């Protein structure tokens, strides 16, 4: 995007020699960093490299042990988040943290309200709403109603509100932490437009992301953090993908997806799982039919909200179906309880490891057998030895990085939590697995490991379904792709046809124009 | 370069992990035992009555009764719920049992029917919580009033005396008033049996593990195929049943029903559980811890009595000590977190 960094050379922010440790554990080692006016500067690194700690130092949530923070040429001390805002630093966290029950405008001016609570004890809601409208218009999002309750806004609108909130004080330095993690393709593009606007106004953006393509397309410079040290800094033009990946990992990591099964003769066999005319009791999807065969990875693509997760939850009994039939290994499993379906060997892994996946307050050993307690139980009593052995076997198999199986799930990094979630899924060898966003928000190395593992599962005659919002992952991993749009299955792509253009053609609804005589080539190009 | 080097990601080596012994006692339980020991030694040195059998029997007697309700409270707290109705449900159990005995129904059958009544109360609460999605707090708060209301309605507010009726029922009377070997009260034995069995059940059974999962994260439990509603329903019934059992022994021990029996029992039980490390957010806790918590409360109460603390000051002092115990633990935990992070 903006290549204006060269034009304005003033550094908005400089970090010099920042070190930070917690107890005996040093997390940052003399980190240097600089942010120019009007540039987008990406910080990348594996989970646990120290990105969050560094950003928390900048945002005043943590105090560095040593080092200097220089804003606008002056050495400063940032005592708390309020202080950071006063110095022009806005922070948009990865997880949206808005008050859901009040309006967008009230969220945007939350900190101002807090500061002025005593000086101005009565709220002027009307003026506040107008000012909020102004800010939102400045972000090119005039369609968001400042008086709308945040709970009623879409995720992407909520994110815009977060950005507006960060900008509501005169913000010069904006930190975006994984802003696209929960956005759809279109919403992501809208965010890039907003970023471009802001950089043109001279705002500097620190951009944290795991998605390499974003960095190449939308950032000016990139700094790599590994194990608390700033390893390298490049202008995006001179950085190579493989170089960045190796810098992050500190070793050679392949970014190549494992080889696909290639042969498609399995399609003649009996399907492992077949869904016929499924319809949701809450109308999130209807008339969904598909088949899954042994030895293939079937991808479910489509925009967020197209009903992919809901279909899968309907299949395993976590949602009520209104109509339809689910056949698994020639047995009708329609209407069975999730427990019965899971113990039959058809498993579903949630997309949200924190909310609905792991028992964060419990330890690793306790988490793993939660779906299959029978593995470690005899006569109703849990055998602690068997539980420990199972846990040790699984964390070794999935190379979960941990201090031991008595460590709480909460204390693992994102990538290791995701591996633990998969360990839980595979505790008892399944016949078919459905993985919802199997690699969301985890680093490149962990991602590659999970991809290898999934491919290995398929060779063991297990059927695998992957739901993913990352087109790369879908095209890289899947032998066959089903595309959903607005609650229906709209297309299927097989074998060599599995590419992003083909998938977006269906997911975006372009095929409809095609049917109506429109130009498919045009749409494909724009997709 | 088709494969990723897995070893370098540093998965812990199994041999290293095995060395770490599995903890039998939590930090909190050890702490409590130490505090209790200090209090016991202190009291026996400073007060000549404390170590007398007469005094200890009173302490252990009331402790054994309330301990039964504490077990039930522990289970429902672990599930992520709470039950404010146990005091009233206990009194309801006493009333049903006493009225039936007075009407010459077989005492054992009366007790069973009383327990059945409590189970029904627990079931209704559980159904309201799981099917209508009302909160534990609201439902059990209402039943705190409803169960007590039924007691008043049934008794018209007059205490029931069973002194005469129990005289002819020596076998039944034994569970509340009997002494094994002439010294150990039967109530203590019943309590200890229940406590040990529950502790083993809580620690080891897979059913109780389902309760832990549900309390730790209801959503994750549901996504693991656990029937969360059934688990919550079962804990509601369990908690009411334990309150009911306490009621049966109570009515026996005191040969009657004072209609205000059990008032404030929920506070004692919740405070004990929290002191003993049971999480109010669910997913964590042990019966042993909760009972040690109750022991602390009971000893403090006893000390206040022995030193003839002015009665109007007792609640203040007691709950300041509860707060102190919880604070001490929280401070220690915060320090541990800071060290680890």
- In this prediction the ipTM stands at 0.83
Nearest CA-CA distance, residue A506 and chain B, Å: 30
CB contact under 8 A, A254 and B3: yes
> Of A403, A429, A455, which residue constitutes the final position of a domain?
A429
Rounded to a whole number of angstroms, the distance from the CA of B207 to the nearest CA of chain A is 7
Both A497 and A436 in one domain: the answer is yes
**B6 to A399: CB separation less than 8 angstroms, yes or no:** yes
Contact B222 A360 (CB under 8 A): no
Query: Which pair of tokens denotes residue A152?
Result: 């009623």
Virtual torsion, Cα A192, A197, A201, A205, nearest 10 deg: -10
Top pLDDT among A514 and A429 is at A429
Q: Which residues of A touch B339 (CB under 8 A)?
A: 23
Q: Which of A214, A173, A162 minimizes the C-alpha distance to A192? A: A214
Nearest residue to B188 (alpha-carbon basis) of B239, B134, B253, B235: B253
| A70-96: average pLDDT | 87
DSSP state of A370: G
pLDDT higher than 50, residue B229: yes
The rounded radius of gyration (Å) of the Cα atoms in chain B is 22
Instruction: Tell me which residue range forms the domain holding B194.
Output: 54-307+316-325
The answer to the question of residue B62 being in a domain is: yes
A467 and A479 fall within a common domain: yes
| Residues A303 and A185 sit within 8 Å (Cβ to Cβ) | yes
A326 and A409 fall within a common domain: no
Nearest to A380 among B1, B16, B207 (CB): B207
Q: In B, which residues are within 8 Å of A25 by CB distance?
A: 341
Whole-number average pLDDT of chain A: 86
Strand partners, B74: none
Contacts of A256 in chain B (CB under 8 A): 1-2
- Chain A environment of B210 (Cβ under 8 Å): 373
Domain with residue A39: its CATH number is 3.40.50.300
Q: Is A448 in the same domain as A506?
A: yes
CA distances from A407 to A401, B22, B326 (A): 11, 12, 24
d(Cα B126, Cα A460) in Å, to the nearest integer?
45
> How many domains does one find in chain B?
1
Of B16, B207, B224, the CB nearest to A371: B224
A185-211 per-position pLDDT tens digit: 777 888 898 899 899 989 999 998 877
CATH number at residue B220: 1.10.3470
pLDDT of residue B322: 80
Confidence at residue B40, expressed as pLDDT on a 0 to 100 scale = 93
Mean pLDDT of all residues in B238-249: 97
Is there a contact between A370 and B14 if contact means CB atoms under 8 Å apart?
no
Give which of A53, A346, A366, A370 to mutate to test B binding, by max B Cβ within 10 Å: A370
Determine, yes or no, domain membership for B118: yes
Facing B220 at nearest CB: one of A356, A373, A452: A356
Report CB contact under 8 Å: A452, B4. Answer: yes
With a CB cutoff of 8 Å and minimum separation 6, the contacts of A195 are A1, A40, A176, A205, A207, A218
A158 and A217, same structural domain? Answer: no
Residues whose CB is less than 8 angstroms from the CB of residue B66 and which lie 6 or more positions away in sequence, other chains included: B246, B265, B268, B269, B272, B294, B298
| The domain boundary residue, chosen from A206, A232, A252 | A252
**Which chain B residues are closer than 8 Å to A50 by Cβ?**
none
Q: How far is B201 from chain A (nearest CA, A)?
A: 8
- The C-alpha angle A104, A105, A108, rounded to 5 degrees, equals 85
| Closest chain A C-alpha to B222 CA, distance in angstroms | 8
Do A305 and A385 sit in the same domain of this protein? no
Number of CB pairs, chain A paired with chain B, less than 8 A apart: 133
**Residue B32, domain member (yes or no):** no
**What pLDDT is attached to residue A259?**
81
Q: Which residue does chain A place closest to B279, by CA atoms?
A: A361
> Is the pLDDT score of B13 beyond 50?
no
In percent, the amount of chain A with pLDDT more than 70 equals 92
Same-domain check for residues A424 and A502: no
Q: How far apart are the CA of B55 and the nearest CA of chain A, in angstroms?
A: 40
Output B338 or B30, whichever has higher pLDDT. B30
Residues in chain A closer than 8 A to B1 (CB atoms): 252, 254, 256
Domain identity same for A118 and A25? no
Whole-angstrom distance, CA of residue B53 vs CA of residue B60: 10
Whole-number Å distance between alpha carbons of A54 and A62: 9
Q: Which two tokens stand for residue A446?
A: 């962990």
Closest CA to A67 of A15, A11, A14: A15
Q: Do B12 and A406 touch (CB under 8 A)?
A: no
**DSSP designation for B8:** G
pLDDT tens profile A350-379: 998 988 999 999 999 999 999 999 999 999
- B17 contacts A405? CB cut-off 8 A: yes
Percent of chain A whose predicted confidence (pLDDT) is above 90: 44
- Give the residue-averaged pLDDT of A286-310: 89
Structure-token pair, residue A182: 């929960």
Residue A460 has pLDDT above 90, yes or no: no
Residue B217: list chain A partners with CB under 8 A: 355-356, 358-361
Residue A467, C-beta contacts closer than 8 angstroms, at least 6 positions apart:
A299, A300, A308, A309, A312, A351, A434, A435, A436, A437
How far does A120 lie from chain B, in Å, by closest CA? 37
Q: Are residues A357 and B11, on separate chains, in Cβ contact within 8 Å?
A: no
Q: With respect to residue B141, please indicate whether it lies within any of the assigned structural domains.
A: yes
Residue A5 has pLDDT above 50, yes or no: no
Q: B222 contacts in A (CB within 8 Å)?
A: 318, 338, 356
Same domain, yes or no: A119 and A240: no
Task: Mark which of A116, A147, A169 sits at the end of a domain.
Answer: A169
Q: Answer yes or no: do B225 and A371 touch at CB < 8 A.
A: yes
Q: Do A337 and B213 touch (CB under 8 A)?
A: no
Angle at A265 between CA A263 and CA A271, to 5 degrees: 120
Residue B34 inside a domain? The answer is no
pLDDT in tens, A110-136: 888 887 888 888 888 999 999 999 888
**Residue A362 to residue B283, Cβ atoms within 8 A:** yes
Clarify whether residues A454 and A422 are in a common domain: no
A358 chain-B contacts, CB cut-off 8 A: 217, 220
* Residue A375 CB partners (closer than 8 Å, separation 6+): A369, A386, A390, A427, A428
Distance in Å from the first CA to the final CA of chain B: 36
Domain boundaries, position A104: 96-169
């Amino acid at each position: 995007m903006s290549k204006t960094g060269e034009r304005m050379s003033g550094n908005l922010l400089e970090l010099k020699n920042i070190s930070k440790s917690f107890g005996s554990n040093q997390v940052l080692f003399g980190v240097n960093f600089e942010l120019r006016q009007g540039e987008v500067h990406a910080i990348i690194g594996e989970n646990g490299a120290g990105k969050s700690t560094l950003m928390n130092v900048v945002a005043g949530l943590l105090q560095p042990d040593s080092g200097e923070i220089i804003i606008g040429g002056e050495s400063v001390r940032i005592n708390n988040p309020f202080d950071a805002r006063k110095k022009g630093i806005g922070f948009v966290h990865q997880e949206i943290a808005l008050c859901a029950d009040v309006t967008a405008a009230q969220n945007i001016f939350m900190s101002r309200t807090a500061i002025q609570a005593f000086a101005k004890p009565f709220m002027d809601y009307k003026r506040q709403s107008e000012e909020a409208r102004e800010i939102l218009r400045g972000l090119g999002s005039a369609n968001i109603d400042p008086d709308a309750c945040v709970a009623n806004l879409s995720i992407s609108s909520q994110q815009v509100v977060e950005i507006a909130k960060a900008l509501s004080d005169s913000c010069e330095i904006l930190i975006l932490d994984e802003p696209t993690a929960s956005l759809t393709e279109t919403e992501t593009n809208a965010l890039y437009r907003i970023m471009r606007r802001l950089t043109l106004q001279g705002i500097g953006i620190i951009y944290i992301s795991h998605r390499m393509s974003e960095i190449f397309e939308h950032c000016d410079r990139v700094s790599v953090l590994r194990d608390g040290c700033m390893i390298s800094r490049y202008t995006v033009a001179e950085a190579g993908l493989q170089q960045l990946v190796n810098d992050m990992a500190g070793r050679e990591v392949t970014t190549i997806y494992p080889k696909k099964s290639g042969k498609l003769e399995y399609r003649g066999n009996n399907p492992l799982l077949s869904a016929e005319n499924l319809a949701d009791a809450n109308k999130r999807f209807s008339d969904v039919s598909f088949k899954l065969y042994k030895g293939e990875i079937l991808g479910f693509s489509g925009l967020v909200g197209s009903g992919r997760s809901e279909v899968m939850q309907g299949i395993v009994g976590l949602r009520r179906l209104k109509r339809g039939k689910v056949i698994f290994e020639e047995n009708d499993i329609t209407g069975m309880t999730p427990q019965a379906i899971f113990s039959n060997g058809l498993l579903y892994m949630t997309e949200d490891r924190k909310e609905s996946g792991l028992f964060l307050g419990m330890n690793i050993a306790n988490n793993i057998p939660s779906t299959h307690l029978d593995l470690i139980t005899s006569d109703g009593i849990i055998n602690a030895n068997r539980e420990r052995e199972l846990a040790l076997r699984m964390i070794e198999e999935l190379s979960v990085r941990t201090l031991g199986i008595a460590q709480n799930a909460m204390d693992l990094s994102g990538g290791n939590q995701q591996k633990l979630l998969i360990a839980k899924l595979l505790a008892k060898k399944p016949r078919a697995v459905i993985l919802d966003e199997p690699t969301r928000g985890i680093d490149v190395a962990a991602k590659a490991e999970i991809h290898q593992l999934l491919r290995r599962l398929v060779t063991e005659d297990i059927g695998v379904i992957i739901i993913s919002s990352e087109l790369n992952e879908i095209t890289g991993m899947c032998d066959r792709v089903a595309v959903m749009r607005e609650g229906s299955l709209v297309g299927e792509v097989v074998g060599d046809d599995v590419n992003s253009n083909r998938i977006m053609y269906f997911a975006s609804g372009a095929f409809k124009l095609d049917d109506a005589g429109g130009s498919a080539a045009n749409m494909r190009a724009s997709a | 370069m088709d494969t990723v080097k897995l070893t370098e990601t540093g998965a812990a080596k199994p041999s290293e992990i095995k060395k770490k012994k599995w903890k039998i006692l939590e930090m909190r339980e050890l702490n409590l035992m130490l505090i209790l020991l200090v209090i016991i030694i202190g009291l026996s040195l400073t007060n000549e009555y404390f170590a007398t059998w007469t005094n200890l029997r009173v302490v252990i007697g009331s402790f054994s009764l309330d301990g039964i309700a504490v077990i039930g409270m522990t289970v429902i707290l672990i599930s992520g719920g709470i039950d404010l109705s146990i005091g009233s449900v206990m009194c309801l159990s006493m009333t049903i049992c006493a009225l039936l005995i007075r009407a010459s129904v077989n005492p054992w059958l009366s007790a069973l029917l009383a327990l059945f009544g409590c189970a029904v109360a627990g079931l209704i609460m559980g159904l309201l919580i799981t099917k209508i999605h009302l909160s534990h707090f609201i439902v059990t708060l209402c039943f705190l009033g409803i169960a007590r209301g039924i007691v008043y309605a049934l008794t018209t507010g007059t205490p029931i005396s069973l002194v005469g009726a129990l005289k002819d029922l020596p076998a039944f009377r034994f569970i509340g008033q009997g002494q094994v070997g002439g010294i150990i009260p039967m109530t203590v034995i019943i309590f200890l049996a229940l406590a040990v069995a529950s502790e083993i059940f809580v620690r080891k059974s897979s059913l109780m593990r389902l309760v832990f999962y549900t309390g730790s994260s209801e959503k994750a439990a549901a996504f693991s195929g656990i029937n969360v509603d059934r688990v919550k329903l079962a804990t509601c019934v369990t908690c009411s049943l334990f309150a009911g059992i306490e009621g049966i022994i109570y009515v026996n021990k005191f040969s009657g029903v004072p209609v205000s029996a059990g008032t404030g029992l929920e506070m004692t039980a919740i405070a004990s559980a929290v002191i003993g490390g049971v999480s109010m957010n669910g997913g964590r806790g042990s019966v042993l811890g909760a009972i040690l918590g109750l022991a602390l409360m009971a000893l403090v109460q006893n000390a206040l009595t022995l030193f003839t603390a002015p009665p109007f000051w007792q609640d203040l002092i007691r709950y300041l000590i509860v707060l102190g115990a919880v604070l001490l633990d929280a401070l220690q935990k915060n320090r541990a977190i800071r060290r680890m992070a």
